[in-house]
Amino acid sequence: DPGMDPVVDVVVIGAGQAGLSSAYFLRRAGLDFVVLDANPGPGGAWRHRWPTLRLGTVHGIHDLPGLALPHTDEDRPASEVVAEYFGRYEREFDLPVLRPVAVKAVRDTGSTLRVETARGAWEARALINATGTWDRPFWPRYPGQAEFAGRQLHTADYRGPEEFVGKRVVVVGGGASAVQALIELAPGAAATTWVTRRPPVWRDGPFTPEVGRAAVARVAEAVEAGRPPESVVSVTGLVLTPEVVEARRSGVLDRLPVFDRLTADGVAWDDGRFVPADTILWATGFRHALDHLAPLRLRGHGGGITVAGTRVAADPRVHLVGYGPSASTIGATRAGRAAVAELKRYLAGRAAPVG
Ligand code: FAD
């Protein structure tokens, strides 16, 4: 019976950095809210990141508001450290996170947003969507993909270099995940080949706050114009760590343009080149996980959802946090604060008269 569904000011979908930051500020604003998270435990996407991604090798994890990430052994997997930190954070601020609760669809009832899950529905006056990208790995399509007899996997399935020992591996993609995988795989693999659509962009020079701000501004410009966001890394360029410098010197990061097709036993280019392969690792990135918002028809002609800051231009009840320019731990933290400040004003303006 839809009349029996719980009614709240705000439903937050997702309990990663973006959802937890939003929840912290919703609590402080005194709003009535619930956080619905598809994961079985705390950590957001970090729960699923490969064990060789260590705290000391990630780009940097920004603190959530109000409780700092504890200092700990840099060698520990980031997945463990962040899951513990987020779990402690949820308890410390007594955040109402329900899990595992996967949102299937959000519909406009006219008066509220109806958030539908396998464990019932919620009626919300406003929505903060903080679902990240991990649940939508992007696999490009190439001719012959179904004929390839070896193994194909995406970064989202990567667990470390062990299973590639003795294999001939082709890594596809120009981002940081491709670079890290190649550096890890190369020593044990029989052969590695790196292919990217465009020549990789190396950052020479330090990653300064100015560089970060310029990259974020470029992504913001795209989403405010209704275009789909590029990843922030594609805009900042790849960081030249000592490992990367060494890998470039030794040839591990020599790159070829992407093949034209896959065959049963390798990859082929129209100019006659062929590279035999046992495994293809698609390090081809992610898209925002927004399928559940499809009934709201937020996507415009530019292929993206037009936003003003975090607010969806076409529906002021809906905010996207961790989307486009805020798809980083620092961006998500700030965007949660901004979204709640706006929603607080919006909900106050629409409050039903008392009595
Ligand atoms: P997530 O952490 O993905 O959280 C989203 C949550 O929403 C998940 O718990 C998910 O289960 C849930 N969810 C999804 N769909 C639904 C649904 N329909 N219903 C209910 N729940 C749902 N950024 C940095 O700043 N520093 C780094 O070092 C860094 N390293 C990265 C490394 C990798 C390999 C990748 C892929 C990204 C990295 N990023 C990094 C970017 C990173 O994605 C963001 O920084 C940030 O962690 C994303 O937080 P989020 O809250 O938006 O999403």
Query: What number is the ipTM of this complex?
Result: 0.98
pLDDT band at 143 (very low <50, low <70, confident <90, very high): very high
CA distances from 308 to 178, 226, 238, 290, 333 (A): 32, 10, 29, 18, 17
Predicted TM-score of the model (pTM): 0.94
**pLDDT tens by residue, 303-351:** 899 999 999 999 999 999 999 999 989 999 999 999 999 999 999 987 6
- Look at residue 353 and tell me whether its pLDDT is greater than 70: no
Ligand 1 centroid distance, CA of 80 (Å): 14
The length of the chain in residues reads 355
Which residues' Cβ are closer than 6 Å to ligand 1? 13-19, 36-39, 44-45, 49, 58-61, 102-103, 130-132, 134-135, 177, 289, 292, 322, 327-330, 332
Pocket mutation for ligand 1, best pick of 135, 157, 310, 319 (most atoms within 8 Å of C-beta): 135
Backbone angles phi, psi at 340, to 5 degrees: -70, -40
pLDDT band at 355 (very low <50, low <70, confident <90, very high): very low
- Look at residue 97 and tell me whether its pLDDT is greater than 80: yes
Which of 334, 342, 331, 316 lies closest to 133 in space, CA to CA?
Answer: 331
Backbone angles phi, psi at 25, to 5 degrees: -75, -30
pLDDT attached to residue 2 = 55
Peptide bond preceding 70 in cis form (omega within 30 of 0):
no
What average pLDDT does this structure show over 286-308? 94
**pLDDT tens by residue, 26-46:** 999 999 999 999 999 999 999
Which of 183, 82, 73, 194 lies closest to 132 in space, CA to CA?
Answer: 82
pLDDT attached to residue 230 = 80
pLDDT attached to residue 315 = 96
Question: Which residues 6+ apart lie within 8 Å of 193 measured at CB?
Answer: 168, 169, 170, 171, 256, 267, 275, 277
Which of 176, 174, 139, 181 lies closest to 158 in space, CA to CA?
Answer: 181
Token pair for residue 50? 């490969």
Strands 33-36 and 97-98: parallel
Residue nearest to atom 14 of ligand 1 (CA): 131
**pLDDT tens by residue, 176-234:** 999 999 999 999 999 999 999 999 988 877 777 888 888 888 889 999 999 988 876 67
- Look at residue 354 and tell me whether its pLDDT is greater than 80: no
